[in-house]
Structure 1
Amino acid sequence: MTAHAARNVPALLLGLRDEGFSGTVRVSGHPGGTIHLRNGLVGAIETPGAPTVTSALLTSGRIDDEAWLAVCATEPDVDRLGGHLVAAGLIGAAELEVVCAAAVFDGAFAMALSPPGSWELSDREPALVTEPGVEPQQLTEETARRVALLSRSWGAPGELTRVRPVAVTGSGPRRPGVRLTRRHQGVLDHVNGRRTPRDLAFALGRGLYAVMLDLIRLEALHLVRWDTRAAPDSRPSTAPRPSRTPPPTDAPAPKVVPLPKRRPRGGSPGHDAAPRGGS
């Protein structure tokens, strides 16, 4: 693969798809991340910006720690861990695939919210992957869709990841006839004025994108407000906030997610190349 010829990460993944590449793409940046490919398809994405499959299963309580550790001790090959989780009756095969695929989409979305840095190709590394994997083109299109939806509903999604929502009590009329779903109530219960949407996603073991949509909904119901103080290592935005139209209470979960783009800086296959903006 002529990695230096790809102008951004989506283009790189499309090229690797054509080659049926199995291996790892490490993307630097904030948050950056690791993309695991199997036969050219995206099997898993790990990034500090969004919960992984492991986090989603354990933090949510879907699988308890002891059972997880017992299966890991039986099957040290992470690539085959999913089959052992299903065989042990800890989770259904279909549910596991949904969780793994959702983590791929969410990871790509999280990586797209900040300009990526360079990338590097390396050998295949073990990972709990979705089978058979996600098409790079589908991932890119879904990520773009998510970014566009949040931009229309709230403003720059990258800025939303840095705000610290505060629960509102006794002010602002809640929309008549609207009851909070268990999902929305769970998010509201974890809002404390210190956690960012990313913090909430990790605390709940839920996708970053879904948590951001829920926060927008809660703001529309006057149940949260945004703390105007900038989060550490971030600068407050001076851009005007567009009017927000809240998304449906229970919008259906999207099917796929995209990745970062960036102009390459050159390099040879398997070495650092340049980035792209927004996944």
Structure 2
Amino acid sequence: MSRNDTDKPPAARNLPSLLFGLHEERRNCTVTVSGTPGGTIHVRDGLVVAMETPGAPGVEAILLKSGRLTEEAWTSVRATDTTHEHLARELVARDLLGAGELEVVSLGSLFDAAFALSLNRLTDWEVGEPVPVLYAGTGVPPERLVAETTRRFGMLAQEPAAIARSARDRVRPTSAGGPEESAARLSPRHLELLSAVDGRRTPRDLAFTLGRGLFAVLLDLRHLLDLRLVEYATPAGAVRPSTAPRTPASDAPAASPVPATAGLPRRLPRRTGHQQAASESPERRP
């Protein structure tokens, strides 16, 4: 039987240990993570069912930007449930998406958000009552989430700090090879990504533009880097959040916050006495 959301959550030194504690006690709750810019973790019966962060596209963004769902269809379904509590069920009931496809998108979005959160260090978290969120499937245990995040870091074959910088830096095309030459050696997926690279967008911007996961974009950018078709362009002076447009057809810049919050597989530094004292609140953890 699940614990009541007002019960005191287990003590934790970092985010993974918090999730393990919530899993052991089969909690239903929402973990709000503070950082730059932070994120939200949704837990049901101790399993993580969804994560939301400005650092990576969520289920809604992926469905709309990838063309799996039209704006008109989404607006119609959204009008029937403004809380997101039954959106997944309604999407399947209207034959807009198959149950299996929606579950795959939901799980992929969850893993990608966990990866994006792991690129930066969190500052704090707060455990609160569960809130409605769009998801499909039963959720995943913390150990699977940590293992998948670690696997993705391994596939990128870089230090976490270097991956985090890559996710924030703008990407620009090079002059190596014209369109015809590029088309001959690239898959349609890589060509689509290359066409969206304009020197203003970061990998995060590209993920939102194309309706793809941040990790998948970083992995494909590495291939384009190896072919010397793109390169990272770090702005001179202070690094500011990207304001690149999210859609390839638009030339007007649009604000897009930089991804952040703390890593799932990474350990946090010990808190100060002041922070420990502040954590006496039943909803905040050290």
TM tier, smaller: 0.7 to 0.9
User: Contact 1:58/1:65 (CA < 8 Å) preserved in 2?
Assistant: yes
Flag structure 1 segments of 5+ consecutive residues without an equivalent. Answer: 235-256, 275-279
Instruction: Determine if the alignment matches structure 1 residue 31 to structure 2 residue 31.
Output: no
| Equivalent residue number for residue 44 of structure 1 | 50
| Deviation for aligned residue 1:72 | 1.4
The separation in 2 between residues aligned to 1:77 and 1:3, in whole angstroms, is: 25
Q: Is the contact between residue 119 and residue 271 of structure 1 (CA under 8 Å) also seen in structure 2?
A: no
Q: Structure 1-normalised TM-score?
A: 0.82
Question: Take 1:130 and 1:3, find their aligned partners in 2: how far apart are those partners?
Answer: 25
Give the TM-score normalised by structure 2: 0.80
1:219-230 matches, within 5 Å, as 219-229=225-235
1:272: which partner in 2?
Answer: 284
Provide the rounded CA distance (Å) in 1 between the counterparts of 2:188 and 2:31.
Answer: 37
Q: CA deviation at 1:87?
A: 1.0
Q: Choose which of 60, 69, 77 in structure 2 pairs with 1:54.
A: 60
**1:83 & 1:191 partners in 2: Cα distance?**
36
**Partner in structure 2 of residue 166 of structure 1:** 172
User: Structure 1 30/87 Cα, relative in aligned 2: closer, same or farther at 3 Å?
Assistant: same
Q: Deviations over 1:172-231 (max 9, x none)?
A: 9x9999721111111101000011101111111110000000100001111111213257
Q: Secondary structure at the match of 1:152?
A: coil
Match of 2:212 among 202, 206, 209: 206
Instruction: Indicate conservation of the 8 Å contact 2:42/2:51, yes or no.
Output: yes
Change (3 A) 1:105 1:154: closer
Name the counterpart of 2:222: 216
Q: What is the CA RMSD across the aligned residues, in angstroms?
A: 2.6
* Alpha-carbon offset, residue 271 of structure 1: 3.0
Which residue matches 1:103? Answer: 109
- 1:70 and 1:233 map into 2 onto residues whose CA distance is 37
Q: Is the 8 A contact 1:111 1:259 kept in 2?
A: no
Alpha-carbon separation, structure 1, partners of 2:211 and 2:23: 30
- Which residue of the partner structure matches residue 72 of structure 2? 66
Report how far residue 165 of structure 1 moved: 1.3
C-alpha displacement of 1:160:
0.6
For residues 78 and 259 of structure 1, do their structure 2 counterparts lie closer, same or farther at Cα, with a shift above 3 Å needed?
A: farther
**Structure 1 residues 220 and 193 mapped into 2: Cα distance closer, same or farther (>3 Å)?**
same
| Unmatched runs of 5 consecutive residues or more in structure 2 | 1-6, 242-262
Distance in 2 of aligned mates of 1:261 and 1:54:
31
Is the contact between residue 28 and residue 119 of structure 1 (CA under 8 Å) also seen in structure 2? yes
Q: Which residue is equivalent to 2:94?
A: 88
The amino acid that maps onto 1:187 is L
> 2:239 aligned with 1:232, yes or no?
yes
- Give the match for residue 240 of structure 1: none
How big is each residue's C-alpha offset from its partner over 1:16-43, in whole Å with a ceiling of 9 and x where there is no partner? 0011111100010013100001111011
Matches within 5 A, 1:141-180: 141-152=147-158, 156-170=162-176, 179-180=185-186
Measured at CA, do residues 77 and 31 of structure 1 come closer, stay the same or move farther in structure 2, by a change above 3 Å?
Answer: closer
